[in-house]
Amino acid sequence: MVAVGLETGLALAERPATEPEPLDARLVLPAATAWGGAATSVTWTMPDGALALAGAVLLAVPIMLGVPYLSRRGRRRMAPAGSVASVTRSARSGLGAVGVAFLAAGLLAGALTTRAGHRGPFADLVGQGSPVTARAVVLDDPRIIATAAAPGVGGRGGPSFAVPARLERVSARTITLRTRVRVVLLVHGEAWRGLLPSQHLEVAGRLARPQHDPTVAGSMLVRDASPRPRGRPSLVQRFAGRLRTGLRIAADGLPEPRRGLLPALVDGDVSNLDDSLREDFRAAGMTHLTAVSGGNVAIVTACVLLVAAWTRRGLRGRAVLGVCALLAFVVLARPSPSVLRAGVMGVIGLTAFATGRPRAVLAALAASVTLLVLAQPTLSVSVGFTLSVQATVGMIILAPGWHLRFARYLPDRLAEPLAVAAAAQVACMPVLAWIGSGVSLIAIPANLAAAPAVPAATVLGVLTLLVAAVAPAWAHWCAHAADLPCWWLVTVAHTAAGLPSATVGWPQGLFGAIAVIVAVVAGPALLRRRVTRRIAAAALAGALAARCAVVSQVVVWPPRGWRIVACDVGQGDALVLRAGPGQAVLVDAGPDPALLVRCLDDLDVREIPAIILSHLHADHVNGLPGVLGRRRVGQVLVGPLHEPAGQWRLVQRWAVRAGVPLRALTAGSSGRVGAVGWTVLAPRVLLHGTDSDPNNDSLLVTAQVDGVRALLTGDVEALAQQAFLAEPGAETALRADVLKVPHHGSANQDPAFLRAVQARYALVSVGAGNDYGHPAPATLRILRQAGVAVGRTDIDGALAVTAPSTPGSAGASVRRDAIAVVRRGRRDGS
């Protein structure tokens, strides 16, 4: 469930459960048309003729409405009673003209914002992948995309970050452009971590096309190992950065995983948030509590208004204090889409409060949406902004009536929060289905259970943040006071996420959204009749019986607690190592882009901070076009042997076209992304003149995936295996819980190498009916004699290594007897 703000909840609390008041919907049409126009022009390049027509409409409509208005106003004074119908028709035509005008305004706003990325000199530079130097302004905090990057050309390493920025001057060869385009800077090095918004930088690097992000004009692969600042961030941002740092330090004394939750909940700082906890909150439908949302804005503003009322300030004085607190909190928490929506809506509401006008919540929401999508059109395609608006619409339109109905059967203290939570969840379901998040069955009760702790955690967290600025020692005590509500939130999320079938799979895309809307609208209508209620009860009973008797025999994919998946990509390798919610490290890409895409879609992997290629044979790299340029990819890591040369040129071409950096891995290289850490064991010396140099010079990598240790072997053959075993300490380095069997289980293996791993499970990635005889019976016999359980993708389909979730113990080893392998089964039924 998304952000459940308190705007409507506070309004409900001010009056008893009586018939809901009528809503002022006059501004809904301008908001909807402006939003639609902005989303259209941000997503697609608008032809010049369409933009000229939109500009003409925008100029003509006010004139068309203004002149008749004056004459109509005079006629209305003298109009007889029978002319009411004509006045109504005029009002309707005027309303339609207003909608067209705001549609044109949205089209123009979106086109002007994204035009530099669609066409013109800067778009040409991006399309050519030109090297440039630029003056940039940081717009948001750096977001880590890889905890430790592998050393690249020149030996640079360290963490990798994505930095949202605005380019103000771009120089390429003899061209210098003055522009204001939004880009993402892809940077490497610890020195970039501490950048604050408003910081001016000089950067040098190569431009590249953005990866499925219409809100930016391009990305820039920065070659500087550290930032080159020009001046300092603004005073406001420096002060906000100091407050955020103070809260993070104060929370460091709390137990894991609550030390990362408190800053995330209060000011949106997710740098220390535990990945297992993040996944629990997602599964429980409580993701909005791992980041600042409109609800946090409402809580802070309401507290300030209460304090102002206690000091006996007038309406205007209270409104001014409320606006100041609201703006300060938006700066502190960073203007995310839901925070912006709540902030603008709050300013409009406080203005009405100060002038003594009645509050029209729907009108305030519509006005805030209109202002935001015209001022920042990229919000129109933001999922976070859409969910925030949908949740608020649900609370405004649905919650009052549901509150009235629930109050007939439940105490008012329970009926009100239940109505708010249910209304917000139902309103968001079409969007959640569209993006493939399924339908949560546990979100409403989980959020209802968590609701009492959210205001306490927010208020105590803000108090900790303020105290830390003047008395850091006392701030630790405040943080420990905030730990109790945080403990409750963690407990609710972990318990709810552990329930079976907490989320029901649902078709995604437009069909899924329409299906949800039909179910939500038709369901209550059908249940009003006794016959349909009996049918629904019988169907529910049957579904429960099937769940108990049948579903337990069906493989749910992906299985809960999955760590590693060997994709079924035919005769090739593609392994997915889970780094966090929606994130994974990909080791090899298989031979077929379509099969790789299907595997990643099934696992809901949207972002790949790192791709590791064991070697460059086609059955390990030809699936790359399925992810490069189609998903967010941080970097592609390759071994020291760039053969076959033709395959190496292909990989270079694909990476450059997608704007993804290529970096070299050598023996001793290591890195970490979320829950995944890796170390390269070999090759320490390149082998030449063997039966297959690319196979024998494959990267030999040991990976630690949230407590599960795996040995990833590429296609190393017996010669390379024996060479590594001869190294000091080799047997200790090889030990792992899971072995990816070398070279698809071919017969060219060293038995001592396979036994030295002492694996519990072995994964053989191999194609059904292949011409190579893989896997060889001799290899399977060696593994089984060593007590290793073997899974094969040609027989078992995709293979998932699972382990129990252990929140707060990231990096700790998992008991070997707790690790399991789930076999999905072949999709073709063979």
Rounded mean pLDDT, 583-606: 92
The pLDDT tens digits for 347-374 are 877 777 666 665 578 888 888 899 999 9
**13: pLDDT confidence band, cut at 50, 70 and 90?**
very low
Per-position DSSP letters for 658-725, written without gaps between them: HT--EEE--TT-EEEETTEEEEEEE-SS---SSS-HHHHT--EEEEEETTEEEEE-TT--HHHHHHHH
User: What φ, ψ does residue 679 adopt, rounded to 5°?
Assistant: -140, 135
**555: pLDDT confidence band, cut at 50, 70 and 90?**
low
Q: What is the largest CA-CA distance in the chain?
A: 105
Closest listed residue to residue 784, CA positions, set 759, 765, 767: 759
Rounded mean pLDDT, 595-617: 92
**651: pLDDT confidence band, cut at 50, 70 and 90?**
very high
- pLDDT for 547 equals 54
Identity of the residue numbered 504? V
- What is the four-CA torsion angle of 328, 330, 333, 338, rounded to 10 degrees? 160
The pLDDT tens digits for 253-281 are 888 788 889 998 888 888 778 777 887 88
- pLDDT for 126 equals 86
- DSSP classification of residue 818: G
Better pLDDT: 588 or 293: 588
Asked if residue 564 has pLDDT above 90, the reply is: yes
- pLDDT for 580 equals 86
Q: In this structure, are strands 662-664 and 636-638 parallel, antiparallel, or unpaired? A: parallel
Contact of 611 with 596, CB cutoff 8 Å? no
Asked if residue 67 has pLDDT above 70, the reply is: no
For residue 591, the SS3 value is coil
Distance CA 561, CA 500 (A): 13
Better pLDDT: 666 or 10: 666
**808: pLDDT confidence band, cut at 50, 70 and 90?**
very low
79 token code pair: 């109009």
- pLDDT for 708 equals 93
- pLDDT for 339 equals 77
- pLDDT for 211 equals 66
- pLDDT for 779 equals 94
Asked if residue 314 has pLDDT above 90, the reply is: no
The pLDDT tens digits for 382-405 are 888 888 888 888 888 888 888 888
Rounded mean pLDDT, 754-758: 93
- pLDDT for 271 equals 77
Distance CA 503, CA 509 (A): 17
Give residues with Cβ within 8 angstroms of 340, minimum separation 6: 330, 372, 376, 379, 385
**805: pLDDT confidence band, cut at 50, 70 and 90?**
low
**3: pLDDT confidence band, cut at 50, 70 and 90?**
very low
**318: pLDDT confidence band, cut at 50, 70 and 90?**
confident
| Helices within 435-508 (DSSP H only) | 443-450, 453-470, 472-497
- pLDDT for 19 equals 56
- pLDDT for 363 equals 85
Asked if residue 548 has pLDDT above 70, the reply is: no
Q: Which helix (H) or strand (E) holds 747?
A: none
Distance CA 644, CA 648 (A): 6
- pLDDT for 92 equals 58
Asked if residue 12 has pLDDT above 50, the reply is: no
- DSSP classification of residue 514: H
Give residues with Cβ within 8 angstroms of 565, minimum separation 6: 558, 575, 576, 578, 599, 603, 798, 799, 800, 801
Asked if residue 828 has pLDDT above 60, the reply is: no
**563: pLDDT confidence band, cut at 50, 70 and 90?**
very high
- pLDDT for 791 equals 93
Rounded mean pLDDT, 617-628: 93
**55: pLDDT confidence band, cut at 50, 70 and 90?**
confident
Asked if residue 421 has pLDDT above 60, the reply is: yes
Give residues with Cβ within 8 angstroms of 371, minimum separation 6: 344
Most confident option among 158-172, 210-224, 747-761, 816-830:
747-761
| Helix and strand numbers, DSSP H then E, in the chain | 29, 25
With a pLDDT cut of 90, the percent of the chain lying above it is 30
Contact of 260 with 272, CB cutoff 8 Å? yes
**632: pLDDT confidence band, cut at 50, 70 and 90?**
confident
- pLDDT for 78 equals 47
- pLDDT for 14 equals 40
The pLDDT tens digits for 681-734 are 999 888 888 889 999 999 999 999 988 999 999 999 999 999 899 888 888 899
- pLDDT for 437 equals 66
For residue 521, the SS3 value is helix
Rounded mean pLDDT, 393-421: 86
Q: Is the pTM of this model over 0.75?
A: no
Distance CA 569, CA 645 (A): 24
Mean of per-residue pLDDT scores for the chain: 82
254 token code pair: 């709390």
Better pLDDT: 70 or 703: 703
508 token code pair: 């995604």
The pLDDT tens digits for 135-146 are 999 998 888 776
Contact of 206 with 132, CB cutoff 8 Å? yes
Better pLDDT: 512 or 501: 512
Lowest pLDDT segment from 56-60, 444-448, 743-747 = 56-60
- pLDDT for 49 equals 81
Q: Which helix (H) or strand (E) holds 626?
A: none
422 token code pair: 């249910």
- DSSP classification of residue 791: E
For the beta carbon of residue 473, count every other beta carbon within 10 angstroms.
9
Q: Based on C-alpha coordinates, what's the Rg of the chain?
A: 29
Rounded mean pLDDT, 402-410: 86
Asked if residue 744 has pLDDT above 80, the reply is: yes
Contact of 478 with 462, CB cutoff 8 Å? no
User: What φ, ψ does residue 364 adopt, rounded to 5°?
Assistant: -65, -40
Distances in Å between the Cα of 536 and the Cα atoms of 224, 378, 422 are 63, 43, 20
For residue 729, the SS3 value is coil
Rounded mean pLDDT, 226-231: 91
Rounded mean pLDDT, 570-577: 95
